[in-house]
Amino acid sequence: MQDKQARYKNLVEAYSSRLYRYAYWLCGEKATAEDLVQETFLRAWRFLDSLKDENSAKRWLTTILRRENARRFERKQFDYADVELDTLPSDREDFDTRPEILALRNAMRLLPVKYREPLVLQVLDGFNLEEIASIFSLPRNTVATRLHRARQKLKKHLSGEEELVGINELPRI
């Protein structure tokens, strides 16, 4: 039991920040991101024995978090999608406010989720194509195409060539 506790503590300390950032860009809301990470680790504790290889912990936890996020939409009471970030000023205080960063952040929010999510995993968490394909249960080429398009869309948006009009976008800041 003590071994399990120590193992769990190591996982939390190593991955909670990464997971929080990923959760934030998944749901776009600070409180929900915290809840998602808490739920992820509670579930991880329950199934910790199934994690045989510590090297795959990051991918394992990310997969759990994605599933928790999917459950969030199944459980109507946790529907935070309608929450406007304007009502949550504390979310803004933590941000870098340089114009190029704000512009990019808004562009990321407008990026459809199917492009945004793999890009966050690749750029922020350092997952490679195979790992992202495994997390999404998608063919590698599909993930490669989505990443290709994500960067193209961002570049075009930032250069003014193409206005991003997201369908699944997060609230603007």
Partner 1 sequence: MNCLEFRQYRLSDPYSHNPNADAHRDECDGCLQFERGITDLDSTVHEALSVAVPEGFAARVLLNHTLQPTSRQPTRRIWLSMTVSFFAVGLIVYQYLQPAPLEGALLAHVDHQPHEFYGSEHHAISNQQLQRVLTTADAESDLENVVYAAICRIDGEEAAHLVIKNEDAQYTVMLIPDYSPSSNFEIDTELWRGFVSPHPAGALAVLAYASDTDAISRLESAHDKFQKSLYLSAQR
List Cβ<8 Å contacts ≥24 apart for 129-133: 131/59
- Computed on alpha carbons and rounded to an integer, the radius of gyration of the chain in Å comes to 17
Residue 152 as a binder of partner 1 (CB under 8 A): the answer is yes
Contact (Cβ atoms closer than 8 angstroms) between residue 160 and residue 117 = no
**How many positions of this chain bind partner 1 (CB under 8 A)?**
44
The CA angle 115-123-162, to the nearest 5 degrees, is 45
Helix, strand counts (H, E) of the chain = 8, 0
Residue 108 as a binder of partner 1 (CB under 8 A): the answer is yes
Residue 30 as a binder of partner 1 (CB under 8 A): the answer is yes
27, 41, 62, 69: which one binds partner 1 (CB under 8 A): 41
Q: Which residues bind partner 1 (CB under 8 A)?
A: 8-9, 12-13, 16-17, 20-21, 24-25, 30, 34, 37-38, 41-42, 45-46, 94-96, 100-101, 104-105, 108, 119-120, 122-124, 126, 128-129, 143-145, 147-148, 151-152, 154-155, 158
